[in-house]
Amino acid sequence: MQIERLEIRNYRLFRSAELEDLPNLTVVAGANGSGKSTLFDVFSFLKEALTRNVASAVARRGGFRELVSCGETGAIGVTVKFRESGGRLATYRLEIGEDAGRPVVHREILKFRRGQSGKPWHFVDFSRGKGTAITNESVYGQKGAKADWEEKVLDDPSVLSIKGLGQFKEFRIVAEFRNLIENWHISDFHINDARPSAEAGYAEHLSTRGDNIAQVAQFLYEHHRDRFNRVLQVMSERVPGVSGVEAKPTEDGRLVLRFQDGSFKDPFVARFVSDGTIKMFACLVLLHDPRPHPLLAVEEPENQLAPR
């Protein structure tokens, strides 16, 4: 599944914005205050609205009045157009409003386009916790096929319908889209979080803040040695002197990242190496993930790294 178009309305400084024909790799550059961070926050907002609820995602951003574009009174809107696994173009539209001062899902639609003509099926169509969902999506597009709708009611009007419906196998496309958003990674890497020793344990993916980098390094070393070796190869090419990295267990059951510098006999633990070395290693771990994120967003990747 790949995002092809993103539309934003009344979200902070984006009164109306569209990004279309998005390639696999997109670089967003612009002056301070032009909306780069806000664009990333749209993705974070959608993920939080799904994994928690709309009310929580809005509250974390200062409330509805702080989130809606200055001077606007309408709903906040985000539309994502993507190719589902069957190759068809699907559209997900989310509108957020207020009800008695509380953020709610004003409208939520997931629909398919049927070729160049014909009215698309609304696989999900909800408003304020009530709506319909199609239960026979497998016949979609077949000649003469008619949709079977089922009415649903959610307990909370700020919960996305795709959160609940996506748990059932009869809603395959809903489940695919839910899984797409849940696995987005919007990096908020913090050097200081990556330096301390971490509790020994198991982690396949780097966290958004990078505080589990030692566990992920251990996982790559033990289960995906080829990828771990590739990370070390690039490290040795880009960071002068670094010839190895290991996640070393301590006596109290913690893991410490240690970097080997060819100029010294003993390796350095993470808290003694440069910010750039830590950041480079974290970026390479993200890029060599055995199960890549469907969306990987890295804000200001040049921080702590030389521009080249």
Same domain, 252 and 131: no
Note whether residue 171 is domain-resident: yes
Structural domain contains residue 303: no
pLDDT of residue 215: 87
Whole-number pLDDT of residue 80? 93
The chain-wide mean pLDDT, for the chain, equals 85
Is 232 within a domain? yes
Whether residue 153 sits in one domain with residue 26: yes
Residue 197 and residue 272 in one domain: yes
Residue 92 C-alpha from the chain's centroid: 16
pLDDT confidence tier of residue 240, bands split at 50, 70 and 90? confident
Both 213 and 175 in one domain: the answer is no
Number of domains observed in the structure of the chain: 2
In this prediction, residues 261-267 reach a mean pLDDT of 58
Residue 5 — pLDDT band, cuts 50, 70, 90?
Answer: very high
**306 occurs within a structural domain:** no
Distance of CA 99 to CAs 10, 55, 106, Å?
A: 17, 11, 9
Residue 60 belongs to some domain of the structure: yes
Q: Residue 159 is part of a domain; what is its CATH number?
A: 3.40.50.300
Q: Is 283 among the domain residues?
A: yes
User: Domain check: are 15 and 77 in the same one?
Assistant: yes
Query: Where a domain ends, among 154, 182, 210?
Result: 182
At 131-180, the pLDDT tens digits run 988 877 666 666 766 777 788 888 899 999 998 887 776 777 788 888 88
**DSSP code of residue 286:** H
Q: Are 131 and 108 in contact (CB under 8 A)?
A: yes
Q: Provide the pLDDT for residue 207.
A: 92
Do 208 and 289 fall within a single domain?
yes
Q: Which residues contact 143 (CB under 8 A, 6 or more apart)?
A: none
- What's the angle, vertex CA 85, arms to CA 83 and CA 86, rounded to 5? 90
User: Among 182, 204, 239, which residue terminates a domain?
Assistant: 182
Please check whether residues 200 and 146 belong to one and the same domain: no
CA distance 238 to 105: 47
Say yes or no: 155 and 194 in one domain.
Answer: no
Tell me, what's the pLDDT at 278? 84
**Domain presence at residue 152:** yes
In this structure, are 85 and 30 located in the same domain? yes
pLDDT of residue 259: 77
Q: Is the pLDDT of residue 238 over 60?
A: yes
pLDDT (tens digit per residue) in 62-104: 999 999 998 887 899 999 998 877 777 889 999 999 998 899 9
Which residue segment(s) compose the domain that 164 sits in? Answer: 2-182
Claim to verify: residue 168 and residue 234 sit in the same structural domain: no
Question: b vs e for 235-247, b when ≥16 Cβ sit within 10 Å of the residue's Cβ?
Answer: bbeebeebeebbb
**Residue 305 belongs to a domain:** no
Q: Which residues contact 274 (CB under 8 A, 6 or more apart)?
A: 304
Return the axis-axis angle of helices 225-238 and 275-287, rounded to nearest 10°: 140
| C-alpha span between 65 and 101 (Å, rounded) | 10
Q: Rounded to an integer, what distance in angstroms lies between the CA atom of residue 117 and that of residue 147?
A: 17
- Is residue 9 located within the same domain as residue 70? yes
User: Among 182, 204, 229, which residue terminates a domain?
Assistant: 182
Q: Note whether 102 and 201 are same-domain residues.
A: no
Instruction: Give the per-residue pLDDT at 12.
Output: 93
